[in-house]
Structure 1
Amino acid sequence: MFSTIEIAKGVSLHIRQSTQFKTVNFSIKWRKPLTVKDAAERSVLSNVMQHSNGKFKKSAEFRSYLDDLYGTVMYFDASKRANDHTVVLNVETVNDQYLADNKVLDDVIDLIQTAIFNPNFENDQFVSSIVEREKEMVIQRIQSIFDDKTRYAHQRLTQIIRPNHPASISANGSIDEVKNITPESLTKAYHSMINEDKIDIYVLGDVDEKAIQEKLVNALTFKDREPIPYPDYPESKAEKEYTNEKQDMNQGKLHMGYSTPVKFGDDDYPKMQIFNGVFGGYAHSKIFMNVRERESLAYYASSSYSSHYGLVYVVSGIEPANEKKAIDVIEEQLDAMKNGEISDLEMNQTKAMLGNQLKEALDSARGQIDIFDQYKDLGEEFSIDTWKERWKNVTKEDLQEMASQLKLEAVYFLSGKESGQDANN
């Protein structure tokens, strides 16, 4: 799908020549082990680098220049996946071959170089007023989770079942860690990212591979780096927990956390994908059809499989009085799957949905980059046909096995202060 070369130790360049799109897409990903402190610093750093640099000191000047480059899109972002924190620079620009002026690509690569290696420094460090402004933006982003009760409930559940673990560490860090950031510490974090992070550089478009490789090697002068060791993350919790938290709200948020030994890249990973789809991943799933449709217990109800952490989440929005009944019906669906009560229709619909989702993602340049980036470490060339075949071979007995390995670790219920007794009473 992509051809790959190492342009420096720990720095890989991936290029895919394709006539599918009229644009050229770049994506540069810096990765290091996830910690709360690093997540906070790098989230603020991505904001600071997003809006200005050494050449364009003001955001308006930067945006105006991007418009002059035929509406080129360029932005930094921060995210997490598995035990890694990622800062990414995404760029999308028009392909030169569709323009009379055929030097736009060179100008864009120069701008990428500027955005990365020529930050907006004052006395060799980031500008204090800009740092403070972007710290406040990240703090507001973290605080916004409290207003979104579904996201808040999910965060609380992960904190309960995986405290101080990548599963519960926010990609934005914590408010306290953001407040501790100074221009000096952010400058140090910038140099660490540029000189120490593992880096993947992606290019996708109708380009001359050799020519674009030469241009990027000349522009992106990253040095060799050694792998950064991961910290010792705490072990999984074993005991089942029940937590009922009350706030001023009407609809209850019921979140249940299960663990599974099956993770991304394991031989049984395709089986767990099918299991989750039948269990609660889609509108035809057991949880949706029984908790919401048959029993009318929930406004919404679904499950999700966090494969990098070996966790399955069940989420539902319910009336507080329906809490115990909803938990019982959700558990009944898991028991049904353990007993092999799985229809051919549920299996076939799930396999079709997974295949369609994959094809839909590959219809965009960004989707192709993200899928290759996720699957590249499995030691095989990615193809839709390979995964469709793996899903096709999953049987009901396989799903029974996956269901039997699920272990309920915690139930978290967020409800209004006037709601009745909890499910354990």
Structure 2
Amino acid sequence: MFKKIPLAEGVHLHIRHTTQFKTVNFSIKWRTALTTQCASERTVLTNVLQHSNAKYPTTAAFRSYLDDLYGTVLYFDTSKRGNEHVVLMNVETVNDQYLADANVLNKVLDVMQTAIFQPNLENGAFKNDIVQREKKMVIQRIESIFDDKARFAQQRLQQILRPDEPASISANGTVEDIQQITAQSLFATYQSMLANDTIDIYVAGDINEEEMVEKLRTVLPFTDRTPAVIPAVLPQQHPQKDYVREQHDMKQGKLHVGFSTPVYFGDADFTKMQVFNGVFGGYPHAKLFMNVREKESLAYYASSIYASHYGLIFVVSGIEPKNEEKALTLIKEQLTAIQAGDISDLELEQTKAMLTNQLKEALDSARGQIEIFDQYKELPEPFTVETWVKKWQAVTKEDIVDMAKQVQLEAVYFLCGKEQSAQ
């Protein structure tokens, strides 16, 4: 799907010529081991790089120049995948062949170089006022999760399930670590990221591959590095408490349930576990939605999420607090039913169809193609839609029963209102 070209040791370009889109899309990903400190520093760093640089020292000047490039989009962000923290820069611009100005792509490459290699500095470090401003912005982003009770409940469940492990670390870091950041320490983080991280560069669009490779070698002069090996699976802790109930000022209860599975991303049974999750609660036709929400009306929503990099399955639901015990019992019963082989042909067919459609829809955009390839590129066999569809189609009811029997309940988190708890 993408052609892989080494640019330096630890730095790889993945390029795809396609006439599918009228835009050219770039994505640069810097990866390192995930800790709360690195997540905090690198999230503030992305904010600082996002809004100014040496050539365009204000947000307004930078945005104005990008607008002049026919609305070119350029942004930095952070995410996590498994035990890695990822800083990414995404860029999307109109292909030159659709414009009267045939030099826009070169200008975009130049501004990418500026955004990465020419930061807005003062006395050999980032400007302190900018750093302090962006620290406040990231802290506000972290604290805003408190107002989104579903996200808050999910964060608490992950902290209970895998305390102080990557599974429970936010890609944005923590308020405490962010408060410790200085202009000097942030510049050191920036230098380390450019010099030491594993780097993947993606390009997708109707471009001349050879010319693009040579241009990127010039505008992105990353040097050799020997990144540290980050294990895909770390030794697992188990929760100290298997049932935690907390209260906030709220009305709807949030019941989140954590299960573990020995099947991780890329394992031989990975596709089987994907199908199991689809039958369990991954889609609107699944058992959790149909039985907990539709049939019994015990939840406003109920679904499951397979976090394959951590070997975890989360059930998330919004319920009336009075239905706490009934809802939890019914959630458990859906797993028991699958373990007993209660799987209809329709449930199986619909799940396979949904998995296939989701994959094909993701590949309808250049960004989706980049993200799918980035996720699957480390697997032994080359990624193709046909390969994965065949794997899903080969999954039987017996396979799903086998997967269900390996799923173990680990912890329950229930968030409700204070007055409801008192009642």
Q: Which amino acid aligns with 1:219?
A: V
Counterpart residue number, 1:250? 251
1:139-288 equivalence runs, <5 A: 139-230=139-230, 235-237=236-238, 241-288=242-289
Partners in 2 of 1:363 and 1:124 — Cα distance? 44
Please list, as runs of the form range in 1=range in 2, the aligned pairs for 1:22-421 lying within 5 A after superposition. Answer: 22-230=22-230, 235-237=236-238, 241-420=242-421
Q: Report the Cα offset of residue 238 of structure 1.
A: 6.3
The offset of 1:236, in angstroms, is 2.5
* Aligned-partner Cα distance in 1 for 2:241–2:116: 46
1:239, 1:409 within 8 Å by CA — same for their partners in 2? no
Whether the 8 Å CA contact 2:4–2:13 is kept in 1: the answer is yes
Q: Is the 8 A contact 2:162 2:239 kept in 1?
A: no
Deviation digits for residues 132-174 of structure 1, max 9, x if unmatched? 0000000000001111010000000000010011110000110
Q: TM-score normalized by structure 1?
A: 0.97
1:419 deviation in Å? Answer: 1.9
Residue ranges of structure 1 left out of the alignment (5+ in a row):
none
Q: 1:269-320 deviations in whole A, cap 9, x for unaligned?
A: 0001100010011111001111001111011111110000000000111111
Number of aligned residues = 422
Alpha-carbon deviation of 1:53?
Answer: 0.5
Q: Distance in 1 between matches of 2:406 and 2:262?
A: 7
Contact 2:93 2:105 in 1 (8 A): yes
Distance in 2 between residues matched to 1:235 and 1:375, nearest whole Å: 24
Task: Measure the CA separation in 1 of the matches of 2:155 and 2:258.
Answer: 11
Give the distance between the partners of 1:73 and 1:246, measured in 2 at CA: 42
Tell me what 1:17 maps to: 17
User: In the alignment, residue 276 of structure 2 is paired with which amino acid?
Assistant: F
CA–CA separation in structure 2 for the residues paired with 1:143 and 1:230: 29
The one-letter amino acid paired with 1:291 is V
SS at match of 1:335: helix
Q: CA deviation at 1:34?
A: 0.2
CA distance in 1, matches of 2:419, 2:285: 34
Contact 1:165/1:234 (<8 A) preserved: no
Distance 1:230 1:372, change over 3 A: closer
- Taking the aligned partners of 1:235 and 1:96, their CA distance within structure 2 comes to 50
Change in Cα spacing, 1:269 to 1:234, as seen in structure 2 (3 Å) is closer
Distance in 2, Cα, partners of 1:227 & 1:311: 27
Instruction: In structure 2, give the amino acid aligned to 1:6.
Output: P
Q: How many Å apart are 1:421 and its aligned residue?
A: 7.5
**What is the root-mean-square deviation in Å for CA atoms of aligned residues?**
1.3
Q: Whole-Å Cα distance in 1 between the matches of residues 381 and 236 of structure 2?
A: 30
Could you list the per-position Cα deviations for residues 389-411 of structure 1 after superposition, in whole angstroms to 9, with x for gaps in the alignment?
A: 00000001101011100011101
Deviating more after overlay: 60-69 vs 226-235: 226-235
Instruction: Kindly provide the amino acid, as one letter, of the partner of residue 142 in structure 2.
Output: I
Task: Give the C-alpha shift of residue 367 in structure 1.
Answer: 0.2
Tell me, what secondary structure is at the counterpart of 1:164?
Answer: coil
1:239, CA displacement in angstroms? Answer: 6.3
Q: What's the counterpart of residue 2 of structure 1?
A: 2
How big is the shift at 1:100? 2.2
Greater shift in the superposed pair: 383-392 or 234-243: 234-243
Q: 1:15-40 deviations in whole A, cap 9, x for unaligned? A: 00000001100000000000000000
Distance 2:293 2:67 in 1: 47
DSSP 3-state at the match of 2:123? coil
Letter of the 2:124 counterpart: D
1:83-141 Cα shifts (integer Å, max 9, x gaps): 11011010001111112221111111111111111000111110000000000000000
Moved more, 413-422 or 362-371: 413-422
CA contact (8 A) 1:164 1:234 kept: no
SS of structure 2 residue aligned to 1:419? helix
SS for the counterpart of 2:360 is helix
Amino acid at match of 1:413: F
User: What does the per-residue CA deviation read over 1:45-86, in whole Å, with 9 as the maximum and x for residues that have no partner?
Assistant: 000000001100011111111111111110001111111101
Name the SS for the 1:289 alignment partner: helix
Contiguous gaps of at least 5 residues in structure 2: none
Please give the secondary structure, in 1, of the residue aligned with 2:306.
strand
Check 1:86–1:58 CA distance in 2 against 1; reply closer, same or farther (3 A cut): same
Distance 1:183 1:165 in 2: 28
CA offset at residue 197 of structure 1?
A: 0.4
Query: What amino acid is the match of 2:392?
Result: W
Q: Is the 8 A contact 2:44 2:138 kept in 1?
A: yes
CA distance in 2, matches of 1:229, 1:94: 37
Q: TM-score, normalised by structure 2?
A: 0.98
> Secondary structure of the residue that 1:418 maps to in structure 2?
helix
